[in-house]
Copies of this chain bind each other. A is one copy, B any other.
């Protein structure tokens, strides 16, 4: 009986998992190392601009440089994250090897000259293109290539934010709106764990965020473990988070179209985009919305960490960051959308917390994950990210915020290659 219970199935599963571990190991060490290098270079370039603020005036030329690099050497790299998603959905089109290095250098240049962008796009593209390279070397079949590519995305994402489980779930959840399949959960989990470990091994560290403790005033009875009034405020704020995801996705899509219809000579677009950023910064009189928004250029600057404190953000900071980032990315600069989405969410959360008389740290954290959840249609990954970044105490609020934002962000997220399995409601 024991023999029949522990049948050959377990041995087959074991072999299969072992095989994937062996395949994933080198892939994710390479991805993790490249992401570590990227984070190091990015940090250097951001702080170099802090000391040399005049670099901003060269942003249009930096855009021109990136534009022509992609034009001349990029092949299909221009399609970015969507190329990776397309290749996972229907392998065959291929991903150019140069995609990784190209997006890495372009992102660093974007940030060196003050473009408002993120870094997840870069990490995902590094992950996807390296995984694709290995899938050729290992001569994997179509199904296995899909798994390895998905794992590459997980490794890149997990490594760049230091959130391994989020990376694994994100890679599976981002493919299709409305469901998650477990087909690649094991490779993804291994890949993002090793990716994250590799970054740590290179001694590259991530920003840590903290939600200040707060007393929940108890309007109802003391025996409620959940506070209904706070939950209601979270839902209201999260509808706003979802709508701001929608605004971001639409603004980026439409600006790109508008630029393309206005300028037939596409190299003019980055010059215009860079110039708009310069003008905006001169008009606003402060550089807060440039670049990543994590480290402060000067004491008192509005950053993601500052948004977790009262007074750490202006009322309209979220809107300015939306405009800055849409302009930057739709005019051909490189990076990603996620860190700007964190910024938009955290500052909007800050603003809403004073409107709703709610704890600022919690609402900044909710905005941080929920705006991202809405824009990428990955509510589960973002709920998990909440736990990985801020701890498990507020899990249920994280889930409510991410799913509410997801429902209100429409179906056209920032990744056009995402498929729709089921409408939202």
**A residues lining the B interface (CB < 8 Å):** 1, 5-7, 9-10, 12-14, 16-17, 162, 164-165, 168, 178-183, 185-186, 189, 193, 196-197, 200-201, 203, 221, 223-226, 228, 231, 239, 243, 246-247, 250, 254, 379-380, 383-384, 387-388, 391-393, 395-396, 399-400, 403, 407-408, 410-411, 421-422, 424-425
Q: How far is the CA of A422 from the CA of B181 in the complex (A)?
A: 8
Task: Given A10-B410, A391-B393, decide whether A201 and B186 contact each other with a Cβ distance below 8 A.
Answer: no
Task: Given A9-B410, A226-B197, A388-B395, decide whether A425 and B16 contact each other with a Cβ distance below 8 A.
Answer: yes
Task: Given A165-B395, A387-B395, decide whether A181 and B179 contact each other with a Cβ distance below 8 A.
Answer: yes
Q: How far is the CA of A388 from the CA of B178 in the complex (A)?
A: 24
Chain B residue nearest in CB terms to A169: B380
Q: How far is the CA of A46 from the CA of B157 in the complex (A)?
A: 49
Q: How far is the CB of A103 from chain B (nearest CB, A)?
A: 26
Contact A407 B181 (CB under 8 A): no
Chain B residue nearest in CB terms to A203: B223
**Sample (29) of A-B pairs whose CB atoms are under 8 Å apart:** A6-B246, A7-B410, A9-B411, A10-B243, A12-B425, A13-B407, A13-B424, A14-B239, A14-B408, A16-B425, A17-B407, A165-B383, A165-B396, A179-B179, A182-B379, A182-B422, A186-B425, A193-B396, A193-B400, A197-B224, A200-B225, A200-B226, A201-B221, A201-B223, A387-B387, A387-B392, A391-B391, A391-B393, A392-B395
Q: How far is the CA of A225 from the CA of B158 in the complex (A)?
A: 13
Q: How far is the CA of A201 from the CA of B221 in the complex (A)?
A: 8
Contact B246 A407 (CB under 8 A): no
Chain B residue nearest in CB terms to A162: B225
Q: How far is the CB of A143 from chain B (nearest CB, A)?
A: 11
Q: How far is the CA of A213 from the CA of B395 in the complex (A)?
A: 21
Q: How far is the CA of A216 from the CA of B395 in the complex (A)?
A: 25
Chain B residue nearest in CB terms to A377: B182
Q: From the candidates B399, B408, B424, name the one contacting A165 in the complex (CB within 8 A).
A: B399
Chain B residue nearest in CB terms to A410: B9
Contacts A5-B246, A9-B411, A10-B243 aside, 11 further interface pairs with beta carbons under 8 A come to A10-B246, A162-B225, A168-B399, A179-B181, A181-B422, A183-B422, A193-B231, A196-B226, A197-B228, A388-B395, A392-B392
Contact B5 A247 (CB under 8 A): yes
Chain B residue nearest in CB terms to A391: B392
Task: Given A1-B254, A181-B178, A183-B422, decide whether A408 and B200 contact each other with a Cβ distance below 8 A.
Answer: no
Contact B425 A181 (CB under 8 A): no
Q: From the candidates B9, B197, B224, B407, name the one contacting A201 in the complex (CB within 8 A).
A: B224
Contact A189 B400 (CB under 8 A): yes
Which residues of B are found within 8 Å of A226, using beta-carbon distances? Answer: 164, 193, 196-197, 200
Q: From the candidates B6, B185, B380, name the one contacting A403 in the complex (CB within 8 A).
A: B185
Q: How far is the CA of A393 from the CA of B390 in the complex (A)?
A: 10
Task: Given A197-B228, A225-B162, A243-B6, decide whether A189 and B392 contact each other with a Cβ distance below 8 A.
Answer: no
Which residues of B are found within 8 Å of A14, using beta-carbon distances? Answer: 239, 408
Contact B399 A189 (CB under 8 A): yes
Chain B residue nearest in CB terms to A239: B14
Contact B182 A200 (CB under 8 A): no
Q: How far is the CA of A347 from the CA of B396 in the complex (A)?
A: 29
4 A-B pairs with the lowest CB-CB distances in the bound complex, closest first: A392-B392, A387-B392, A16-B425, A179-B181
Q: How far is the CA of A112 from the CA of B15 in the complex (A)?
A: 46
Q: How far is the CA of A103 from the CA of B246 in the complex (A)?
A: 47
Q: How far is the CA of A239 from the CA of B6 in the complex (A)?
A: 12
Which residues of B are found within 8 Å of A17, using beta-carbon distances? Answer: 407, 425
Q: How far is the CA of A179 from the CA of B239 in the complex (A)?
A: 27
Which residues of B are found within 8 Å of A223, using beta-carbon distances? Answer: 200-201, 203
Which residues of B are found within 8 Å of A421, using beta-carbon distances? Answer: 181
Q: How far is the CB of A225 from chain B (nearest CB, A)?
A: 5
Contact A225 B196 (CB under 8 A): yes
Which residues of B are found within 8 Å of A395, using beta-carbon distances? Answer: 165, 384, 387-388, 392
